[in-house]
Amino acid sequence: MAEVVFEKVRKTFGSTVAVNDLDLTIDEGEFVSLLGPSGCGKTTTLRMLAGLEEPSGGTIRIGDRVVNSVPPAKRDIAMVFQSYALYPHMTVGKNIAYPLKKRGIREPERSERVMATARLLELETLLDRKPAQLSGGQQQRVALGRAMVREPQVFLLDEPLSNLDARLRAHMRAELIELHRRIGRTMIYVTHDQLEAMTMSTRIAVMNAGVLQQFATPADIFHRPANVFVAGFIGSPAMSLVEGELVGSGGGDGERRFRVHCGALDVALPAGLLNRSAAPGPISLGIRPEDILLGSGHHTAAVGVVERTGHESIVRLEAQGTPLIVRAPGDTPIESGETVRFSLRVERLHIFDSTTGLRLNADTKDS
């Protein structure tokens, strides 16, 4: 049993609240990403779990054990640091062997386990090198090896890919997914890169300003963002968020019908799009770039910058003062300065309460 549970966990530094009443239950064997912008509390959360920071309140459990006052070495966790934190004066072999040595595991078992780990990570030929003689990707693997070698219940990874170049990062993402599949241990992964979180995680915990925003699968996070922050943070390019007004429009068949007025956009929402708590008033309308279709429809807008990446074009529109971002096919014949017609996939619109920021769509899941 190695589920990880945070209950009302707080961490304050002076008057700054880094983590605010965090409730989070991570199941055994999950790959969970803590995702958020710098200073959102994700690293502090991880460090509290590692035992490098003491929580100011609440309890942290690993398995059945409350670990608040358990020293880091006794928590049965391993951590991979952003800087890798390899011991520079030790060879690769000694780096990997170090946690075993400190736990009193003797030869020949120690060497056998180091070799097994090295084989798994394809480091056998590098065991006698010093960290400074390795490439970034190799150092990364040594750091992973040092974490894996003593088979901890939980792996903590603090932005482990952020020091690698883009190509290597994509490669290591795949390797990490494969590794997680193979060893099946709980992994908790801190990142500010949504691509990493979306591609690797079983579930993502999105954090902002010390508060957990949503904890759900990548698909849920993307398709059913719980609030305006998650909606704006996930997705690249970001969802267009437009302030507007939700108005009731009757509906003779007993169903509640709504329209949204957002500047130039006046859209009738399909029946059943919104949940019970939806009521006329100020809202934020969220439109994903792929949910705007160019070419026809009864909305018009001026075309601003067109960024072509080959397989797609990112088009910036301005519909009478309302900025929108559209993802269109790469060969869309469109030029800056033109006026285009467009339509919306209304069944995919996201409606958020302007005051609470909460999602009003009917498919919203409790998180």
Partner 1 sequence: MHSDPPPSLEKRYARIGVVLIAPTVLVFCAVILYPLISAIYLSLFSIYTPTLAGEWVGVDNYTALLASGDFWNAALNTLIWTVGTLMLQLVFGVAMALLLNQSIVFQSLARSLVLFPYFLSTVVAVLVWRWLFNDLYGILNHVLLIAGLIDAPVNWLGQMPNAMISIILVGAWKYFPFVVIVVLARLQSIPEQLYEAATIDGAGPFQRFTDITLPQLRDVLVVVVLLRAIWDFKEFDLIYLMTGGGPVRATQTLSLLVYEEAFRLNRMGMASTYAVAMMLVLLGFTLVYLRQTNRLEEG
Q: Does 77 bind partner 1 (CB under 8 A)?
A: yes
Q: Does 4 bind partner 1 (CB under 8 A)?
A: no
Q: Are 360 and 224 in contact (CB under 8 A)?
A: no
CB nearer to partner 1: pick between 103 and 119: 103
CB nearer to partner 1: pick between 51 and 235: 51
Choose one: 37-45, 99-107, 113-121, 259-267; the region binding partner 1 (CB under 8 A). 99-107
Q: Is 181 helix (H, G, I), strand (E, B) or coil?
A: helix
Q: Does 79 bind partner 1 (CB under 8 A)?
A: yes
Q: How far is the CB of 114 from partner 1 (least distance, A)?
A: 13
Instruction: Return the ∠ at Cα 331 (arms to 330 and 336), rounded to 5°.
Output: 90
- The site for partner 1, by CB under 8 A, has a size of 23
Secondary structure of the chain: what % helix, strand, coil (to 5)? 25, 35, 35
Residues between 213 and 242 with contacts to partner 1, criterion CB under 8 A: none
- According to DSSP, the residues that pair with 31 across neighbouring strands are 187
Q: Does 49 bind partner 1 (CB under 8 A)?
A: no
Q: Does 98 bind partner 1 (CB under 8 A)?
A: yes
Q: Which pairs count as long-range contacts for 129-134, CB under 8 Å and 24+ apart, including other chains? A: 129/91, 129/92, 130/88, 130/89, 130/90, 130/91, 130/92, 131/84, 131/86, 131/87, 131/88, 131/90, 131/92, 131/95, 132/88, 134/92
Choose one: 48-56, 170-178, 194-202, 336-344; the region binding partner 1 (CB under 8 A). 48-56
* Site track for partner 1 across 326-365, x = CB under 8 A: ----------------------------------------
Q: Does 52 bind partner 1 (CB under 8 A)?
A: yes
Residue identified by tokens 């065991």 is 127
Q: Does 81 bind partner 1 (CB under 8 A)?
A: yes
Q: Does 148 bind partner 1 (CB under 8 A)?
A: no
Q: Does 151 bind partner 1 (CB under 8 A)?
A: no
Residues between 105 and 134 with contacts to partner 1, criterion CB under 8 A: 132
Q: Is the peptide bond before 237 cis (omega within 30 degrees of 0)?
A: yes
Q: How far is the CB of 81 from partner 1 (least distance, A)?
A: 5
Q: Which of 141, 146, 299, 316 binds partner 1 (CB under 8 A)?
A: 146
Q: Which two tokens stand for residue 101?
A: 């040595």
Contacts of 275 (CB under 8 A, 6+ apart): 360, 361, 362, 364
Q: Are 156 and 49 in contact (CB under 8 A)?
A: yes
CB nearer to partner 1: pick between 76 and 290: 76
- Smallest Cα–Cα separation from 23: which of 40, 10, 6, 11? 6
Q: Does 136 bind partner 1 (CB under 8 A)?
A: no
Torsion (CA) 229, 355, 283, 345 in degrees, nearest 10: 30
Q: Does 83 bind partner 1 (CB under 8 A)?
A: yes
Q: Which two tokens stand for residue 300?
A: 């018009």
Q: Does 296 bind partner 1 (CB under 8 A)?
A: no
Give residues in contact with partner 1 (CB under 8 A).
50-52, 71-73, 77-79, 81-83, 85, 87-90, 98-99, 102-103, 132, 146
